[in-house]
A and B are shown apart, each in its own frame.
Chain A
Amino acid sequence: MTHAFLLLVRRDLRIALRRRGDVLNVLVFFLVAASLFALGVGLAPELLRAMGAGVVWVAALLAAMLSLPRMFAVDLAEGTLEQMLIAPQPLGILVAAKIASHWLLTGLPLALVAPLIGLQYQLSADALCTLLAGLLIGTPVLSVLGAAGAALTLGARAAGVLLGLLLLPLYVPVLVFGAGAVLATLTGVNPAAQLALLGAFLAVSCVVGPPAACAALRIALD
Chain B
Amino acid sequence: MSWGSLNEFLAMGGYGLYVWGSYAMAALCFLLEVLFLKMNSTK
So, do A and B actually touch in the complex, CB under 8 Å? no
| B interface residues, Cβ below 8 angstroms from A | none
